[in-house]
Amino acid sequence: MSNYLELAQLPDGSIVLRRADDHDNPIVKIEFSNESKEFLQGQELNVAKEMIRAGIESVSGSVSDFDEFF
């Protein structure tokens, strides 16, 4: 099992955080409503990344190497 995670946008528009070697079992899945997508104007992946960053930070207190994580 890989230690590397990836953030990916699926063909249906949802965004998943998954292990790099396991595309069938996402750890987290984020789906934005059509209204949200219009508001975000194509920035869904960046917003999802920040949402995951905030979640990890709230639990661990630190995400200093987060950008290297993906």
Instruction: Decide if pLDDT at 1 tops 90.
Output: no
**pLDDT tens column, 3-54:** 888 999 999 999 999 999 999 999 999 999 999 999 999 999 999 999 998 8
pLDDT of residue 68: 58
Query: 31: number of CA atoms within 13 Å, CB side?
Result: 4
Strand ranges, E, within 4-59: 5-9, 15-19, 28-30
pLDDT of residue 60: 81
